[in-house]
Structure 1
Amino acid sequence: MAALRAAGCVFAEEEAELILAAGRTPDEVTALVARRASGLPLEQVLGWARFHGLRITVEPGVFVPRRRTEFLVDRAVAQAVPGARLVVDLCCGSGAVGAALAAALGPVELHAADIDPVAVRCARRNVSSAGGRVHQGDLFAALPTGLRGRIDVLAANVPYVPTGEVGFLPPEARDHEPATALDGGADGLDVLRRVAAGAPDWLAPGGCLVVETSEDQAPAAVAAFAQAGLDTRLAVSPELYAHVVIGVKDAAEAAGGGDGRDDGRA
């Protein structure tokens, strides 16, 4: 524990317990502590992360799923049309969002995609139990063309850190997670805009696009969804400090509605 404290780990005691449980021998525990003290994210040291009640495999060099992104899963499940069966996890990273959606929605046809081959390999391990398929490529170009116009739930945890702010991220993210999972361009919204613009062609009537963003970026993100022709609202979780933009295609065919803003408590 002393080594973790000296390395600046805020939750040294809790992390020490997890590492002790993971190490099978004293030498292995020592090696795990050294990796964590070097700045490697705890989840990459352990090889897994807890996300939405699931144990998600996390490999070195893969984006670590954040707890606030559980709110994205919750809003996608709440928005999904009854009987939703086709789910896509775009910019999937470890595949945590797709795996959580499959677990929450029941039997679904699950597809996930990422541009990073390391993430694709990791995601395949996490979605295999749900029968998910993972594709490598740039956003919609990675998906089978047969999915066009059929997607019920499209979740995209896109990179949204402005390029000029990536250098200010904690070392765990900046030094050990892929830039493609963090850097969202000049204002952080380059990838979000591309996803919003392409989504209407891929969504089924009543299908939803759900994307995480930041508080400061939320107005511009909502505008990008609206410009794409989606019926749009913003959902906010003060507890998780999470902001999720929800866009629905042909909203008149989907259940529900809203006044343009959702506090996430529904």
Structure 2
Amino acid sequence: MPRLALLLTTLIWGATFPATKLALDQVPPLSFLFLRFLLGASLVGAWFVLARRTVRRGRSILAASGVATVFLFLGYVLQTVGLRYTSASNSAFLTALYVIVVPLMLRRFHGRVLLATAVATLGLWLLVKPNATMNIGDLMTLGCAVAFAGHIVCLERFTREFDAPSMLWWQMAAMTLLFIPAMGWERPPSDAFAPTGVLLLGLAVTGGFATGAFAVQMWAQQHVPAQQVALVFAAEPAYAAWLSWYFLGETLDLQGWIGSGLILAAVVIGASGSGDRAVPTAVAEVA
């Protein structure tokens, strides 16, 4: 069940690409990220109120949330700024290389995972067709892949030690605060925040559904090893390509269909294995 939940959340992550692309025609990228995380933090806070749950405030959970937020913030900033200097296809491919970085960070090398990683990498290459040249944008996006990998690794550990909903709240709140000065740096015009249908749809997908997907990820990572999570998330570019093809009319040739098929095959190969290192059970945090 956790792996199926992750696969469904990846569909939502994929939907954020066309939704964000449409919204960015109206609002600058970092300002959009501020709105996205502000909505996400508000929704998580509302859930705590309605569920009559208390946000844990212990020093340990704050420190863990802070570490995870650093990786998450770096990932989004490096990816967004890197897009100004590189192509969207290079960005999609290089970002998804966290499928390789996660097992390297954890030093977990199993035959099934290695095979799935190789198949996923080939599929990503066929799907997004990145060019062979490297520029500053590509280097920043590589840093983004490392940051997102670090975030996945953090969640594997911290969601087993601390209250996952509280960690979700602290990350959403911290991301919102961190993007306030970024929004000031962009100095967007006032009409950029006009509540148009495109902007509201983009925020609904990225700030609403994607926040729910993030919550499911944090729950699932209490049960699924990080390297398998990274493999499942490799399906995100495939979903994004299909949704962009269907809703935005973007082209997807035979090579792209083959590549996306290989990615899904890699997900099935890697996520169905049982030979990964056992993960510890969750322990209660002392507030």
Q: Tell whether the structures are fold-level matches, with TM greater than 0.5.
A: no
Whichever structure has more strand as a proportion of its residues is 1
> TM-score if structure 1 supplies the norm length?
0.25
Whichever structure has more helix as a proportion of its residues is 2
> TM-score if structure 2 supplies the norm length?
0.23
